[in-house]
A and B are shown apart, each in its own frame.
Chain A
Amino acid sequence: MIDRGYYGEFGGAFLPEILVATFDELVEEFQKAKNDPSFWEEYTEIMSTYSCRPTPLTFAENLTKHFGGARIYIKREDLNHTGAHKANNVMGQGLLVKRMGKTRVIAETGAGQHGGATATMAAKFGFKCTIYMGEVDVERQRPNVFWMERLGAEVIPVREGTRILKDAINEAFRDWVTNMDNTHYVLGTACGPHPFPEMVSYFQSIIGTEARKQILDREGRLPTRVYACVGGGSNAMGIFSGFFDDPVELVGVEAAGRGLNSGQHATRLSSKDASIGVAQGYKTYFLQDQDGQMKETHSVAAGLDYVGVSPILSNLRESGRVRFEAATDREVVDALSLTIKKEGLIPALESAHAFVQVFKEAPTLSKDDIILINQSGRGDKDIFTVADAFADPGWQEFIKKKAEGYRHA
């Protein structure tokens, strides 16, 4: 094996022997691509023509007035093709797959956004595509399954374990150990064995690079604090990476679900329920019991409902470079509601976690301070989940009538 990819004591590559050669090849191709200036050019070209890069930076004037503190800016990753930052990573890995000459891609998905993005990439580049999705997530994100299938992907519901994101990752690995000759596993977040944390962060760094330039153009100075929600950690790594060398406070917000004391959450870096472990090929903080068995997790946002977290973020927590907070399901729905009404923006439930923390802290800062939030995805495409989160009676009535209509179809 070539390079182990450690961040402090976190990361590594805890691989079954059958995959070692595949990872060696991936590490080598990624290094070659990184050292080839034309690769990043090709990447930014495709992101500006196939997706909407650079994504805009929006000044949230009404929210700023509402809280009467720091000036709030929002980085609009929701305006990417397929509606989330996931496109950045997927297109980058797609270009690598072309370089490696492979013809099939597989991916796990939680909310369905990474799966959807991978399916579009596969359609565009002409790859065969299989998406693994926990059965629970298939049920709560049916519209995304519909689109993945229309895009030509095969969506396989995973009925093992807790039937959510981590189980989908396990199944994708099981596919990969069989089909590695022609297949690349497009891991969706900055987790997993080396080189995935580094590689996914590399592609997502386009967010931070753009955001830093945009805020300097607009305000002539750096933000005081930057906020991002943290599931696996890829959107957070993306925006944070633009500010690592600046005197800027970085804040990651995890899913507190039904509360940190409820045992039903996905808070790894800001709760006592997590400890260091090794699973899914890497070492990081996991929500696990004393024996090392992974626990069930919960979040209203399927994309944050994950048992581990990027090893790079675990290291940044240990070093104190990033502060971690958590937002409950209830707080998230309130923050989403306020953002929709005040700004006409519809963040994804995942992204709304970052807004919760901003709304807590903005009033305590001065009017000279600047806050930057990464709106990692859009919420309107998750209408079934969001409507449920709001318990919207009109929507429920509509669904009942719609179902009635299908009964006779």
Chain B
Amino acid sequence: MLESYLRTRLKEKEILLMTHIVLGYPTFEDSFKIIEAMVEAGVDIMELQIPFSEPIADGPVILHANQKSLAGGATVQKCLDFAQEVAQAFDISFLFMSYYNILFKYGVDRFASETAKRGLQGAIVPDLPPEEGQTYLRAMQEHNLAPIFIFSPTTPDDRMEYLASFGRGFIYCVARKGVTGADTTFSEQLDSYLARCRKATDLPLALGFGVKEKRDIDFLKGKVDIAVIGSQTIRLVEKEGVGVVGSFIKKLR
């Protein structure tokens, strides 16, 4: 489902854009406005992060957004309701992103069933390797949802193939070591890593971590199918407010 959506869009665009927001940050109202602006600016797919108190793979920018959203009263229920609203309002694909404890406490089956019922296409759970995710994988399959798995530069070739065998929709390739939000050097070094990723799977490839300007996206054209903008839009919202998101995205492609 997700994969065919992406392939259809790829017929018209050289590279797709995926963006990331933390639900309820700065407020749910703002989250809605940001999504509206992003869709209008041509974003193809969005990660909606359900905030968690211990986001271990996220750097300071997304970490703070998680904390502020929770302090502002965000709950899992509010996030699900909000996601349903945007999935109905906008004609792009949405994914949930969160840490495993959120799914575990909610009930993994129930989470998958709600994700599907509310019109989302899949989920990214960065602290859930397939070895720990048997229940999750079954539930996602049952509801025709895409579990997105992650490649990293430290992942050996055979493990890439192993991960790809569980992945649906696309594979999320992390550009470098470290957490979200730090700088990445877009150089030829990245090319050999992306070649390894390409060899390991036929699924579309997304690349994220440190993508923040047009130059980065130009570099990625022809090498991956999706460029992921994460921390940079949150940084922008913090500095200049929700209003500048649309023009920022439009300038990227």
Q: Hey, which bits of chain A sit against chain B, CB under 8 A?
A: 1, 4, 12-22, 160-161, 166, 170, 173-174, 177-180, 275, 277-281, 286, 288, 290-294
Q: Hey, which bits of chain B sit against chain A, CB under 8 A?
A: 52-54, 56-57, 59-60, 63-64, 67, 70, 75-76, 99-102, 104-106, 126-129, 131-132, 149-156, 159, 163, 174, 177-179, 182
Whether A18 pairs with B76 at a CB distance below 8 angstroms is no
> What residues on A are CB-neighbors of B150 within 8 Å?
16-17
A161 and B151 contact, Cβ closer than 8 Å, known pairs A4-B132, A277-B105, A278-B104: no
Q: 23 A–B contact pairs at CB < 8 A?
A: A4-B132, A13-B131, A13-B132, A14-B129, A16-B150, A17-B126, A17-B129, A17-B174, A20-B129, A20-B154, A161-B67, A173-B56, A174-B178, A178-B177, A178-B178, A178-B182, A275-B105, A279-B54, A279-B99, A281-B56, A290-B105, A291-B75, A294-B54
A14 and B128 contact, Cβ closer than 8 Å, known pairs A278-B104, A292-B52, A293-B52: yes
> What residues on B are CB-neighbors of A292 within 8 Å?
52, 76, 101-102, 104-106
In Å, the complex CA distance between A20 and B174 comes to: 14
- Determine which residue in B67, B102, B131 has the highest number of CB atoms from chain A within 10 A of its CB, and name it: B131
Shortest C-beta distance, A158 to chain B (Å), equals 11
In Å, the complex CA distance between A99 and B155 comes to: 23
Whether B152 pairs with A291 at a CB distance below 8 angstroms is no
> What residues on A are CB-neighbors of B100 within 8 Å?
14, 278
Whether B155 pairs with A20 at a CB distance below 8 angstroms is yes
Given A178-B178, A180-B154, A279-B99, 20 extra CB contacts under 8 A? A12-B132, A13-B132, A14-B129, A15-B127, A16-B57, A16-B126, A17-B163, A18-B57, A18-B154, A20-B155, A21-B159, A22-B154, A174-B178, A177-B177, A177-B178, A178-B182, A279-B54, A281-B127, A292-B76, A292-B104
In Å, the complex CA distance between A280 and B99 comes to: 10
> What residues on A are CB-neighbors of B105 within 8 Å?
275, 277, 288, 290-292
> What residues on B are CB-neighbors of A174 within 8 Å?
56, 59, 178-179
Shortest C-beta distance, A388 to chain B (Å), equals 28
In Å, the complex CA distance between A280 and B59 comes to: 15
> What residues on B are CB-neighbors of A281 within 8 Å?
56, 127
Whether A280 pairs with B152 at a CB distance below 8 angstroms is no
Q: Which residue of B lies closest to A275 (CB)?
A: B105
Whether A20 pairs with B159 at a CB distance below 8 angstroms is yes
Whether A16 pairs with B56 at a CB distance below 8 angstroms is yes
> What residues on A are CB-neighbors of B131 within 8 Å?
1, 4, 13
> What residues on A are CB-neighbors of B153 within 8 Å?
18
> What residues on A are CB-neighbors of B101 within 8 Å?
277-279, 286, 288, 292
Shortest C-beta distance, A157 to chain B (Å), equals 14
Q: Which residue of A lies closest to B79 (CB)?
A: A291
> What residues on A are CB-neighbors of B126 within 8 Å?
16-17
> What residues on A are CB-neighbors of B99 within 8 Å?
279
Whether B152 pairs with A17 at a CB distance below 8 angstroms is yes
> What residues on B are CB-neighbors of A20 within 8 Å?
129, 154-155, 159
In Å, the complex CA distance between A365 and B56 comes to: 47
In Å, the complex CA distance between A15 and B63 comes to: 18
> What residues on A are CB-neighbors of B53 within 8 Å?
161, 293-294
In Å, the complex CA distance between A275 and B105 comes to: 9
- Determine which residue in A1, A18, A170 has the highest number of CB atoms from chain B within 10 A of its CB, and name it: A18
In Å, the complex CA distance between A180 and B161 comes to: 23
In Å, the complex CA distance between A279 and B67 comes to: 16
> What residues on B are CB-neighbors of A166 within 8 Å?
54
Residue in B59, B64, B104 whose beta carbon sits within 8 Å of that of A277 in the complex: B104
In Å, the complex CA distance between A293 and B106 comes to: 11
Shortest C-beta distance, A182 to chain B (Å), equals 12
Whether B179 pairs with A177 at a CB distance below 8 angstroms is yes
- Nearest 7 CB-CB pairs, A to B? A292-B105, A178-B178, A292-B101, A18-B152, A293-B53, A16-B57, A17-B150
A16 and B127 contact, Cβ closer than 8 Å, known pairs A180-B154, A280-B56: yes
> What residues on B are CB-neighbors of A16 within 8 Å?
56-57, 126-127, 150, 152
Whether A293 pairs with B174 at a CB distance below 8 angstroms is no
Shortest C-beta distance, B170 to chain A (Å), equals 15
- Determine which residue in A4, A20, A160, A292 has the highest number of CB atoms from chain B within 10 A of its CB, and name it: A292
In Å, the complex CA distance between A14 and B155 comes to: 16
